[in-house]
Amino acid sequence: MRRQYFGTDGIRGRMGDEPITPETVLKLGWAAGKILLAAGDERGSVLIGKDTRISGYLLESALEAGLSAAGADIRLIGPMPTPGIAYLTRTARAQAGIVISASHNPYEDNGIKFFSSQGAKLPDDIECAIEAMMRKPMRTVPSAELGKVRRFADAAGRYIEFCKSTFPYRLDLEGLKIVVDCAHGAAYQIAPHVFEELGAAVIAIGNAPDGFNINRDCGSTCPATLQAAVLQHGADLGIALDGDGDRVIMVDHKGEIIDGDRILYIIAAHRKESGLPVPGVAGTLMSNVGLEQALKRLGIPFGRAAVGDRHVMALLGQQGWDLGGEASGHVICLDKSTTGDGVIAALQVLAALRASERTLREWAQGMPLYPQTIVNVALERGVSARAVVRAPKVLAILHEVESALGGEGRVVLRPSGTEPVVRVMVEAADPATVSQLSAYLAAAVAKTASGLAVA
C-alpha cells in the first residue's frame, strides 16, 4: 500500500504543515490506539516521550487525547533519548512507545515514530494498518473505557543505569576528560550523568535547551563546536549526540572527527581483538570504502544496505549479525540495545580505549578513509526530491561523473528520507577529483531543482 504519512523514520515534517498538525496527530493517536490495542492480548499502556522542541508539548497533548479516545492508557516520560524510550517500552511491558522528535532537524520540524512492545521499530504492516484506520471516522470509546494518563516515575534514572550496564564492570573512565555535546536535545539530562558516574571528568556543552536551540550550531550535525571545545579544554576526546540521542560522532584529542564508520570499525576491531565473535558488520551505500577494506583485513564480512537505520536493521536480521550503522552516527549494537543508541555506542568505543590503553586517535588510524564528499542540495518547498534525482539531465550528468571515475570510485545520488534535500556523494582516491566531481553533480541537481520549483 502506498503510504501517505509514514516515511523511512516515522512521520516527519514542519510543525503546522500536514501531517504535523494538531488535527492529524490527534487522529494518528486515535488510529494507533485502535490498532495497537487490537494487536495486544489485553489493555496495555502506551509510553510517550519527546525531545526538547517547543512543539513537543502540543503534539504530546494531541497524541494523549487521541490515544485516550481509543481507550489506551498513557504513561508520559517527558524529554528522553529515542533509544531510552525503546528500552523503557520493552522493560515496562508497554503495548508500544511513541517518540516525538525530528532527530537532527531544526526546531521548526517535528516528527512521530513508534516502537513495538519489544522496543523495535513497528513492522510495515502495522504502520499501514494505522494509516488505513486514519481514513475512518474517529469515534471515541464510552467514558468508562477512556484511557488514563500518568507520569512514568524515574525514567531518567532507569535509563542511565541501563546505559552503564553495557560498559564492562571491570573497567572505569577514571582519569579521562571528556567533552559531551548534548545538542540541547533529549540527552541533556542523561549523557553527562552516564559518563560521570563511570568516573570521567565531564565538560557538558549543548545542555541548556530552551525549546528553540536544539541542534543549532551543536551536536553531531555540527561537530565543529565539539572540536573547538576539546582543544580548548585539553580533553582526551569528545562525544557529540544529536537532538534525540540516537546518533553519535566523536572527536579525538587533536580535534579530528571520528564518524560513524570509524566508530563501527573500532567496536568491531576491539571485539575481534578480545576474541569475541564478529560474524559481520552492516553499513549502507554511503559507508566509506575504507571501512569495508579495514574490516576485510580483519576477516570480518561487510554488507551494504539502503540508507536509513531501518534498512541497516533489516540487513542485520537477514544475516544474523548484531553490529551495524551509518557514517552519520547511527550505530546499532543489537547485543546491547534494540535500536541505535549514541550513548551506548560511545561506551563501546570507550571500553576499547580502556581495555587496550590506546587513545581514540590510535584506534581510528587502523581505518584509513577514502576521500569522500557529501553535498546536501536543499530543495524549495513542494519540489519532489525523487523527481529531481530521476530527471533526465541529472541522470546524464550522473552517468558522466561515473564514467570519469572509471570504476575507481563511487557515486551515490539519493533523496533524503528525513529532510527536503538531495544528497550527492562522491568517493575516490584523489581528493581533487572528489571535490570537482561532487560540485559538478551538485550544481546539476540544484539547477534542475530550481527549474522544477519555477514550473
Give catalytic residue positions.
Answer: 103
Helix or strand run (H / E) with residue 60: helix 56-70
- What are the residue ranges of helices labelled H in 274-422? 289-297, 309-319, 342-356, 360-364, 385-390, 392-405
- What are the residue ranges of helices labelled H in 190-341? 191-197, 224-233, 260-273, 289-297, 309-319
**Pair 422, 449: CB distance under 8 Å:** yes
Please state, in angstroms and rounded to a whole number, the distance separating the CA atoms of residues 105 and 224. Answer: 17
Cα angle: 189, vertex 194, 195; to 5 degrees: 115
Residue with cell 577514571: 174
Residue 5 to residues 120, 283, 419, Cα–Cα distance (Å): 19, 27, 15
Expressed in angstroms, the distance from the first to the final Cα of the chain is 29
State whether residue 99 is helix, strand or coil.
Answer: strand
Please state, in angstroms and rounded to a whole number, the distance separating the CA atoms of residues 395 and 397. Answer: 5
Name the percent of the chain in helix, strand, coil, to the closest 5: 40, 20, 40
What sign has the CA pseudo-torsion 137, 142, 143, 147?
Answer: negative
- Other beta carbons within 10 Å of 436: 15
